[in-house]
Amino acid sequence: MGTFSMRYLHSSPRCREQYLDANQETFNKVVLNEYAKDKIVLVDFYADWCNPCKIISPILEKLAGNATIKTSSGRSLDLVTIDTDKEFELAQKYHIRSLPTVMAFKDGKLVDHFIGALNEASIKKFIEQV
């Protein structure tokens, strides 16, 4: 079983969770299966060598942890980060060709995505529209 870092953000009644450097097993559990029900999960596909990734990853962590930012459905928002160098098969499965790529899953289904380093306001707007 792989290891991952999980942060609980208790700034609202709905606990927002962040699964940093998740592996395939964690991805399946959190994004696709049992934990995915009634949640929006942002998945940040990144690599350590990717400079634009270094820009947006802290922004995603900040926004995902901000309880005042609401998705269009008002659902809980979690964040999963995937290092594409470590989880190459997962990156291939989702056809990751450019980094960073951020995907939004609702109830375990991919509903939207963006590619590239957006600014904080654009990422916030993306979250609010999911």
Which residue of the set 22, 30, 31, 50 is catalytic?
A: 50
Q: What span, in angstroms and rounded, lies between the C-alpha atoms of 55 and 17?
A: 21
Q: For tokens 């927002």, what's the residue?
A: 16
What DSSP string runs through 21-72?
T--HHHHIIIIISTT-TTEEEEEEEE-TT-HHHHHHHHHHHHHHT-TT---T
Token pair listed for 76: 């809980």
Annotated catalytic residue: which of 31, 40, 43, 53?
Answer: 53
Q: Is 15 a catalytic residue?
A: no
Enumerate the active-site residues: 50, 53
